[in-house]
Amino acid sequence: MPTIQDVARKAGVSVATVSRVINNSPSVSETTYRKVMQAIEELDYKPNLLGRNLRRTETRMILVLLPTISNPFYSKIVKGIERVARENGYNILLCNTDSRVETEREYLKLLKNRLSEGAIFMAPVIDRDELSELSRKYPIVQCCEYMEEAHVSYVTIDNFSAAYKAVQYLIGLGHKRIGMISCKNNYISTIQRKEGYKKALEDAGLVFSEDLIKVGNYGFKSGIRAAKQFLAKKDNVPTAVFAISDSMAIGAIRCFKENGMKVPGDISVIGFDDITYASMYDPMLTTVSQPQVELGCEAMELLLAQIRGDIKEPKSIFLDYELIIRESTGLCKV
Amino acid sequence: MPTIQDVARKAGVSVATVSRVINNSPSVSETTYRKVMQAIEELDYKPNLLGRNLRRTETRMILVLLPTISNPFYSKIVKGIERVARENGYNILLCNTDSRVETEREYLKLLKNRLSEGAIFMAPVIDRDELSELSRKYPIVQCCEYMEEAHVSYVTIDNFSAAYKAVQYLIGLGHKRIGMISCKNNYISTIQRKEGYKKALEDAGLVFSEDLIKVGNYGFKSGIRAAKQFLAKKDNVPTAVFAISDSMAIGAIRCFKENGMKVPGDISVIGFDDITYASMYDPMLTTVSQPQVELGCEAMELLLAQIRGDIKEPKSIFLDYELIIRESTGLCKV
DNA sequence: TTGTATGCGTTATCAC
DNA sequence: GTGATAACGCATACAA
């Protein structure tokens, strides 16, 4: 592998001059430029980024930490992150944490050891204090989830009002007994969606009871299980269900259909996220659409601003969501 | 940011000794070890990987190039790659090429400029010669797709026999008019699946005709369009369809159902890949399952072997696929 | 067991 | 406009 030295020797100039040519410095004469370029060509020289990065103390890499890339919601966000990263000469180090704190910490070493210039978290496993401390030292952005009172930038949607709007829509269709499929965790999104759900019921004068809420783990099968629980109380089955993930909504629909119910004829179901498969299901899913790609783009923009030093204090950004009405919801018939 | 120098000064030793401690060299006395460790603690020193990497001329990074991460088939493969990479201290640089050759070349600079030690390609855009040449200089592995006569390692499945088996299964169910939804590209998988399909028909004494094949682009909507084309020839609609992607299969089913047909009652549909959503659809999809995670794992293992120099010549690995029979296929009723 | 000195490949400062 | 040289942070061959 030829180095800058080899090029210099071959072109009969100093390494400094070669470096100038590589970096398009204006103060290089036309003739030496050509000499150097020719040497570069002939040797098929490529600057070693390790040397350059060390010298410049920059890596142009960022960490993207998420539970798992094989979740279409996250992978679409990553797409947005990558787009903006690329436009700005940055590359992405993909970090599947499987929601394990040791794995997360392992990856964070890449930040502390200066191999990456910043990090974007989807759903961190480390706690608020640890994250806040990290954020004081390094450029950090949270995407979708965030922590209150934490010293960390984030970009997300208003989960409270999104849930409120979804449930309000169901209420507008005449539904009076509306179940929710939530998850057992302390994510801010989970908490706020539950609050939005409750508030919508309350504002409509509908009674809320804890057993209107079943919990899953965002996945298809857990949606089926939750739906089964609803069906268990024969005389008191909801006429509509609000699930906090599309996969759980699809699972619930599957279960209802298997039990001879029509969706939305007998029961309406609404999901959350608007993953690609939401509009492929039968019935196509009514859902709260999160601007996944845009969330990623904004997160990366925010991170860049921090890396560049344009932003000193944490900043929060809320993007618009959208209630997308498809086929899985309809008028209440009872 | 403290450097190894600072630690050395604080501990009253030389940088060499600090380096030894960091790298767990056995030849360091118990007492100096403690002194150094304490200095490291107090300064919160973290070795700068840029310096280390330059010195060691290693980066422990690999490129993963794919059309788009927001395709569940690829993202699951990436999961496998990442698992093995992590186990071996390697990190993944994610490269969405959007199937654009300029983007691909841009990312490949990271290989040529020695920021990454190897690359795994899912569906390369560059041509065979360019890839072969690259593979002569750098560790390269192709995953799923590959090119005949190319000087490149790959891991894949036997697409010919997989397609053959799928179609043979449909034939076994009594189907005599079997359509195919393929794609318009020159991927080896596409070519071989078509060959497998034709051979199965032929071996069963069924007639093949080019208009039994409709083309899409792997996506849901294109599956719908293909199905529409089948329905267009009123008196000659197939009783079964073999699609080379699950999303197209799902699209086709959607279209058939919308046209009042029952699946599998009136028409059977079989997909390919076995993405997560295949088993979430209604009906659950019968499909050829590719071992996605394992494909990724094997690809990474192969790449590691090349990086380490254990393998000199390109090697090819074929993994087992599996025909998974679910709900979208049934006996032919005509 | 420890220290000295050198080099990894590049960029940047300073002379000329 | 160009060259000599130091420096980025670390690991290691060689001496001691």
Per the domain annotation, does A334 fall within a domain? Answer: no
Q: CB less than 7 Å from strand D: which protein residues?
A: A 12-17, 20, 26-29, 31-33, 51, 54-55, 57; B 1, 3-5, 15-16, 19-20, 22-23, 46-48, 50-52, 54-56
Task: Looking at the structure, tell me whether residues A95 and A179 fall in a common domain.
Answer: no
H/E element, A178: strand A178-183
Q: In angstroms, what CA-CA distances link B113 with A10, A44, A297, B141?
A: 20, 11, 27, 18
| Proportion of chain A above pLDDT 70, given as a percent | 100
Low-confidence ranges of chain B (pLDDT < 70): none
Handedness of CA A196, A290, A280, B64 (dihedral sign): negative
- Indicate which CATH number applies to the domain containing A103: 3.40.50.2300
Residues 62-81 of B with CB under 8 A from A: 64, 68-72, 75-76, 78-79
Q: How many angstroms separate the CA atoms of A21 and A33, rounded?
A: 6
pLDDT, mean of residues A212-223: 98
Locate the chain A residue with the closest alpha carbon to B284.
A254
| Mean pLDDT to the nearest integer, A23-30 | 94
Question: Do A153 and A296 fall into the same domain?
Answer: yes
User: What b/e sequence results for B313-329 when a residue is b if at least 16 CB atoms lie within 10 Å of its CB, and e otherwise?
Assistant: ebeeeebebebbebebb
Residues A273-281 have a mean pLDDT of: 97
Measured between alpha carbons, how far is A33 from A60 in angstroms, rounded to an integer? 27
Structural domain count, chain B: 3
CATH of the domain at A36: 1.10.260.40
Residues near B52 by Cβ (< 8 Å), separated by ≥ 6? none
* Strand C-proximal protein residues, Cβ less than 7 Å: A 1, 3-5, 15-16, 19, 22-23, 45-48, 50-52, 54-56; B 12-17, 20, 27-29, 31-33, 51, 54-55, 57
Q: B57: nearest CA in chain A?
A: A50
Give me the pLDDT at residue A62, please: 98
Asked if residue B279 and residue B191 are part of one domain, the reply reads: yes
Rounded Cα gap, residues A157 and B254, in angstroms: 32
pLDDT of residue A334: 82
Q: Which residues of B touch A245 (CB under 8 A)?
A: none
* Closest-lying nucleotide for A33 based on CA to C1': D1
Asked whether residue A191 is domain-assigned, the answer is yes
- Closest-lying nucleotide for A27 based on CA to C1': D1
B136 interface with A at CB cutoff 8 Å? no
H or E element at residue A183: strand A178-183
In a domain, A326, yes or no: no
The mean pLDDT of A273-285, rounded to a whole number, is: 97
State residue A120 phi and psi, 5-degree precision.
Answer: -115, 125
A53 → chain B, closest CA residue: B50
Q: What is the pLDDT of residue A234?
A: 82
Range of the domain at B15: 4-47
| Residue found by looking up tokens 């960091």 in the block | B22
Residues A301 and A264 in one domain: no
The answer on B146 and B73 residing in a single domain is: yes
Q: What is the mean pLDDT of residues A108-125?
A: 97
* Segment holding B118, helix H or strand E: strand B118-121
Examine residue A87 and state whether it is found in any structural domain, yes or no: yes
Give me the mean pLDDT over the A12-21 stretch: 97
Q: What is the mean pLDDT of chain A?
A: 97
Residues B173 and B262 in one domain: yes
CB atoms within 10 A of CB B252: 31
* B327 inside domain: no
Query: Domain check: are A133 and A212 in the same one?
Result: no
Which of chain A's residues have a Cβ under 8 Å away from the Cβ of B78?
A: 69-70, 94
What pTM does this model have? Answer: 0.96
Give me the CA A5–C1' D12 separation in Å, rounded: 22
Alpha-carbon distance values, B238 to A13, B176, B198, B215, B241 (Å): 73, 8, 15, 15, 7
Q: DSSP label at A278?
A: G
Locus of tokens 């293909």: B226
Residues A174 and A235 in one domain: yes
Interior angle at CA A17, CA A30 and CA A10, nearest 5: 90
Mean pLDDT of A54-80: 97
For residues A278 and A305, state if they share a domain.
no
Confidence of residue A222 (pLDDT cuts 50, 70, 90): very high
Confidence of residue A235 (pLDDT cuts 50, 70, 90): confident
Task: Kindly state whether residues A149 and A176 are assigned to the same domain.
Answer: no
Q: Does residue B234 share a domain with residue B165?
A: yes
Mean pLDDT of the region A242-262: 98
Average pLDDT over residues A171-188: 97
Q: Shortest CB distance from B70 goes to which of A64, A72, A279?
A: A72
Tokens of A252: 């619930």
* Residue A331 located in a structural domain: no
- Tell me if B328 is assigned to some domain: no
Report d(CA A153, CA A139) in Å as an integer: 9
pLDDT the model gives residue A88: 97
**Is there a domain that residue A26 lies in?**
yes
Whether the upstream peptide bond of residue B2 has omega within 30° of 0, thus cis, is no
Q: Is the peptide bond before B238 cis (omega within 30 degrees of 0)?
A: no
What are the Cα distances from residue A56, in Å, to A6, A27, A53, A93, B50? 21, 20, 5, 20, 10
Cβ partners under 8 Å of residue B55, min gap 6: none
Which of B328, B233, B253, B252 has its CA nearest to residue B288?
B328
Task: Indicate whether A153 and A299 sit together in one domain.
Answer: yes
